Chains A and B, each alone.
Chain A
Amino acid sequence: MKSQFLTTKRGCRVRVLEAGSGTPVVFLHGAGGLFPDNPFLDALAKNYHVFAPELPGYGDSTGEDLLEDMLDFTLHAADVVAELGIDKPHLVGHSMGGMIAAEMAATSPNDLRKLVLVGAAGLWIPEQPIPDLFAMLPHEYPKYLFHDPAAGLALLTGGLDFSNLEVLAEFYIANSRRMAMAGKILFPIPNRRLSKRLYRVKAETLIVWGASDALIPPVYAERWNQSIAGSRLVQIREAGHMVPYEQPEVFVSAVSGFLG
């Protein structure tokens, strides 16, 4: 994928990965950000014009101080779409990105084609609390994020060794910067009252969930499915919260089948 930078009218400098051609698909990443390799985006780009912006505070994107709350995050994503000059893209949001995509679909229901929510954050069921991502230490991530924690650890670290303190420190600092940003809409409870606005979503919606998601358990998939009129739900086996990375082929096939 090629990488480009744009500056939004608000003043954020955003790195956007781009590949393919055809109907535009905007992918919004989760709280952990994009990985160095994102094979599911490459696969989607075979059929669509894929754009994957990195949120300020992630990678080389800057201007995080300009974004403070849910409305800022939502309008920022819309600003990026506007700056890319694309009209009515499909929105695919993973985890925190799903929360932002759902807000976009609720606040500006005519500005998108279809909506795909993958392991989306943004709802809260008191009887099924989501584990506290912000109190986790790096070595605890894999068991919450992946169906196969050992293989997941390698994806998460790019094969680096977490028992090496220097490697850990580098990951820790970059992760702190990312998660500091995510905390603005996810801490202490990832609920910014989105559920009150979901009645406004008009886009055809697909909910995709890892059947063994240990971070946001599948009961949340059911809740999303009930909350958005006419939505469909697909659960993917042998996948945890990081379903696009763990089962890229099944994931892309489900998404492509839905987007058409």
Chain B
Amino acid sequence: MKFTWFNLMPWPYLADDFREKNRSIWVDIPNTLFDPEKGHFLYNRYMDQLEYAETLGYDGIGVNEHHQNGYGLMPSPNLIAAGLARRTSKAAICVMGNSIALYNPPIRVAEEFAMLDVISGGRLIAGFPVGTPMDTNFCYGQIPALTRDKYAEAHELIMRAWKESEIFSFDGKYNQLRYVNCWPKPVQKPHPPIYIPGGGSIETWDFCIDNDYNYSYLSFTGYKRGKQLMDGYWEQVAKRGKDESPYRGAFAQTICVADTDAEAETLYAEHLHYFYNRCLHVYPGFADPPGYRTIKTLKYGALTALTEDALAKFPTLTWKDLLEDRYVIAGSPETVRQQMEELIKGLHVGHVFCLLHIGNMPDEKTRYSTRLFAERVMPKLRDVWPEWKDDQRWWIKPMPNRLQLERSLPPGDRPSERGPKGRARGGGSPAEGKDEVER
């Protein structure tokens, strides 16, 4: 099993009446709510947490791309990944990913991802999402009905740029380039592992299967709801005659770990409430512009509640709802282990994106939950798939002789030489009640 520590980087300062006063956290969120000075502390704290995850033995650290979004502060995940590449040396840098239809020309993605792969010594996992409609269509103005076509062209261009050693010309519908010449090239040959974050478009399955890319279902609604979709994916994998390696699939899961189930509720309930009831407040008109989903997918999926009545209500999910419906896996290490095993086996996935920072969770609690998961849950889940333990097809292949973090820093400034409360360490019980630096 592989575990990636993932941070969405939410803005944690949304008011209690945010959703009553604003129609959406995404696209048209008032930008006056962003405070750059608070943002300074926040970005650095979130990056510290990602670096901390590596020291605890997480296989990967993950970032993603969102625009004009109150629960995502990374319009450019590559900037964050560049910082992480310099301050880590073992973990996969999972950029999930770059919305390739948005880059003009998309050769930019081939170049930046290659830079990240080179700086990190071959530790990049390259995610190529189609992009959400909020990001792609409403924030970045792409025509919904042409988004997938543009995505397909961008994908072709990037893959050719990485693979081909001859300069070539590219006469695309959306990109015309006389001299395609990717410089630099990635360390990993022929290219870094490719992950395709999917949100439910069934066309994406065949695309992943045809190219042997990992299909990552990144939802916030947990494994019970994810099952139907992942079952559909695995059926399609079987139908197309591919092997059923669990590493073809990944899933994102919100997780909270404490000493006991009761402590988990005490520590984390308020932050789950913040995320699920405030951060996911997206105006439905932004979620599904005509043409973004194909008619085939529209007919396959149930319609979200679009009636006027349904929209007038703001459903409030309680701790109990979130746990019972398995939106969230929370509790003692043993509770979490059991449910994680159910998730992994039920969805047949070899890689979990662990969402351990949630909403407005303060640093101490985040590190506490992160450490407990790493020390008391992860080791017991490592060997769920013994028959596939040597399957490295969807994993990074770093340079064996790459720079190590400790050697690249001057003496006296190495993480191992800092005190236990240094930036790269920490993770004591939040029960000590430490306040955050910027508050």
* Residues on the A chain within 8 Å of B75, using CB: none
User: Complex Cα distance A137/B137, Å?
Assistant: 16
User: B306 contacts A183, CB within 8 Å?
Assistant: no
A68 CB within 8 Å of chain B: yes
Interface size on A, residues (CB 8 A): 28
A182 to B138, CA, bound (A): 16
B381 surroundings in chain A (CB, below 8 A): none
Q: Is A177 a contact partner of B306 (Cβ separation < 8 A)?
A: no
Interface residues on B, range: 20 to 34
* Residues 158 to 196 of chain A near chain B (Cβ within 8 Å): 162-163, 165, 168-169, 172-173, 175-184, 187-189
A138 interfacial by beta-carbon distance below 8 Å: yes
Given the interface contacts A180-B144, A183-B145, A184-B146, does A134 sit within 8 Å of B289 by beta carbon? Answer: yes
* Contact present for A168 and B289 (CB under 8 Å): no
Contact B290–A183 (Cβ < 8 Å):
yes
Contact A183 B289 (CB under 8 A): yes
Cα-based distance from A178 to B298 in the complex (angstroms): 14
* A176 with B146, Cβ < 8 A, contacts A138-B306, A168-B303 known: no
Complex-state Cα separation, A139 to B310, whole angstroms: 12
A133-165 vs B: 1/0 string, CB under 8 Å?
Answer: 011111110000000000000000000001101
Pair B144/A183 contact, Cβ less than 8 Å: yes
Query: Which B residues lie within 8 Å of A138 (CB)?
Result: 306
User: Per-residue 0/1 for B277-310: is the Cβ within 8 Å of any A Cβ (1 yes, 0 no)?
Assistant: 0000001111011110101001100010011110
Cβ of B69 to closest chain A Cβ, rounded Å: 16
Tell me whether B405 is interfacial, beta carbon within 8 Å: no
Q: Tell whether, in the assembled complex, residue B138 and residue A188 are in contact, meaning their CB atoms are under 8 Å apart.
A: yes
Contact of A163 among B144, B145, B293, B307 (CB under 8 A): B307
Q: Are A176 and B307 in contact (CB under 8 A)?
A: no
Indicate which residue in B143, B298, B307 contacts A187 across the interface (CB closer than 8 Å): B143
Chain A residue at minimal CB-CB distance from B289: A134
Q: A180 vs B299: C-alpha distance in the bound complex, in angstroms?
A: 15
In the complex, B409 has a CB within 8 A of chain A = no
Q: Which of A134, A140, A169, A178 contacts B144 (CB 8 A)?
A: A134
Looking at the complex, which one of A135, A165, A179 makes contact with B138 (CB distance below 8 Å)? A135
Interface residue B311 (Cβ < 8 Å from any Cβ of A): yes
On whether the beta carbons of B291 and A176 are closer than 8 Å, the reply is yes
Assess whether B141 is interfacial by the CB under 8 Å rule: yes
Known: A135-B285, A180-B291, A188-B137. Is A173-B299 also a contact (CB below 8 A)?
yes
CB neighbours of A134 from chain B (8 A) = 137, 144, 289-290
Contact of A183 among B143, B283, B295 (CB under 8 A): B143
Candidates B137, B285, B308; contact of A136 at CB < 8 Å: B285
The distance in angstroms between the C-alpha atoms of A139 and B138, with both chains bound, is 20
Q: Cβ of A184 and Cβ of B307 under 8 Å apart? A: no
Partner of B293, one of A137, A162, A176: A176
9 closest Cβ pairs, A-B complex:
A180-B291, A179-B290, A135-B285, A180-B145, A176-B290, A139-B308, A188-B141, A180-B290, A134-B289
What are 27 A-B contacts with C-beta separation under 8 Å? Answer: A135-B138, A135-B285, A137-B308, A137-B311, A140-B285, A162-B308, A163-B308, A163-B309, A165-B303, A165-B307, A168-B307, A172-B303, A172-B306, A173-B298, A176-B288, A176-B295, A176-B298, A177-B290, A177-B295, A178-B290, A183-B143, A184-B145, A184-B146, A187-B141, A187-B144, A187-B289, A188-B141
Interface residues of B, Cβ cutoff 8 Å to A: 137-138, 141, 143-146, 283-286, 288-291, 293, 295, 298-299, 303, 306-309, 311
Known: A137-B311, A168-B307, A188-B141. 13 other contacts (CB 8 A): A68-B146, A134-B144, A134-B290, A139-B306, A172-B298, A173-B295, A173-B298, A176-B293, A176-B298, A180-B291, A181-B291, A187-B143, A187-B289
